[in-house]
Amino acid sequence: MMNTKINVSINSELRKKYGIRRFPIAKGDIVKIVSGSRNGEGGKVIEVNHKTKKISIEGITIAKADGKQVAFYVDHSNLVITKLDLSVEGRYNKIKENTVRRNLPVPEKTVVEKTPEEAVENTAIDTGVEENTNPEENLEESKDESEDFPEEEPEEKLGDDEDEN
């Protein structure tokens, strides 16, 4: 089975701006739930399951029997996109081509704001550099840490000698 893109309706403001009714949803888009038990709630898309055509939204969870909070997946037909994440070049080009074809003003490239946690994760992944890049300072820090904790002597195993009798 081939995974296809999940097209989701766009709110009326974006319909006028981009000249389209539906657009493939992607991680990072801002959506609003328009139907179902969670009607009126919304947030940033954190996962798209193409197999089941369900979308997980940031901050929308459900409690399991043991009390754990897990992601609540919403069907794509119950959503409306309120803000598109056009940071991906292919998505921006698709919108740009469509607006030119319909004689609409070309939209500016918008990026959905990242939470501070995501920004930190992305910079750590992108750079791959630790906070302290001076190896001499790292060596000094490790010496200081070893002075705080004296070496412990390994404990003798008890019970092994008794079994031999």
| Enclosing domain of residue 62 | 7-126
Question: Is residue 27 one of the residues assigned to a domain?
Answer: yes
Question: Is residue 87 one of the residues assigned to a domain?
Answer: yes
Alpha helices in the chain (DSSP H): 12-18, 89-101, 116-127, 135-148, 160-163
Closest CA to 84 of 55, 50, 112: 112
Averaged pLDDT, 54-70: 95
What lies within 8 Å, CB to CB, of 50 at 6+ separation is 3, 4, 5, 6
Question: Is residue 24 one of the residues assigned to a domain?
Answer: yes
User: Do 56 and 71 touch, CB atoms closer than 8 A?
Assistant: yes
Question: Is residue 135 one of the residues assigned to a domain?
Answer: no
Closest CA to 44 of 115, 108, 110: 115
pLDDT at 124: 44
Question: Is residue 19 one of the residues assigned to a domain?
Answer: yes
75 has which bridge partners? 54
Is 0.75 surpassed by the pTM of this model? no
Question: Is residue 117 one of the residues assigned to a domain?
Answer: yes
Averaged pLDDT, 21-32: 95
pLDDT tens sequence across 63-121: 999 999 999 999 999 999 999 998 888 999 999 898 888 888 888 776 666 555 555 55
Question: In total, how many domains does the chain have?
Answer: 1
Separation of CA 33 from chain center: 18
Question: Is residue 58 one of the residues assigned to a domain?
Answer: yes
pLDDT at 148: 52
Question: Is residue 70 one of the residues assigned to a domain?
Answer: yes
What's the CATH code of the domain at 110? 2.30.30.30
Averaged pLDDT, 139-152: 52
